[in-house]
Amino acid sequence: MEFSKKSIQKLGKRIRDGEESIQDQELLINYRNKFKEPLVNLNNEISELVHSLKIKFVLAGRLKRIKSIKRKLRRPNSQSMDLSRMGDIAGTRIILDNLEDQNNIISKLKSFFHIEKINDKRNDLSNYRAVHLLIKNKDNIVIEL
């Protein structure tokens, strides 16, 4: 099933405004499902890349739950949230032992993938330490790493 950017934006607005129909629920499920294969492919590519560097790692991927997508769209401070630009419908995580390995992997990922955005939170004052990368594949599907 093909989705235009405009149709996804309209679907997100109906969900945000609490006006979605049963058909919209099905559309949202189908839209989310279009991220499955690209997520699996990205995880396989990342796994091969990290293995080739002989670095110990844990890799886990997931699709955002439908309930979580709706909740994110409906947050009071997210009135400008656009479903077509939601970058974390599909996500994967690499857990590494140290900063040197993180920096090495980030450098390699930059040379192998189209990185749309990087958000380095390792120096933030909170206890949350991570680097978020939005990776866009050849079909313009964005997956958060």
**pLDDT of the chain, 145 residues: tens digit per residue:** 688 889 999 999 999 999 999 999 999 999 999 999 999 999 999 999 999 999 999 999 999 999 999 999 998 886 677 899 898 999 999 999 998 999 999 999 999 999 999 999 988 887 788 899 999 998 889 999 9
pLDDT confidence of residue 46: 95
pLDDT confidence of residue 2: 80
pLDDT confidence of residue 77: 80
pLDDT confidence of residue 56: 95
Written in H, E and C, the secondary structure of 100-133 is HHHHHHHHHHHHHCEEEEEEECCCCCCCCCCEEE
pLDDT confidence of residue 70: 95
pLDDT confidence of residue 9: 93
pLDDT confidence of residue 66: 97
Distance CA 102, CA 97 (A): 8
pLDDT confidence of residue 32: 97
pLDDT confidence of residue 6: 94
Residues in a beta bridge with 134: 117, 144
Distance CA 37, CA 15 (A): 25
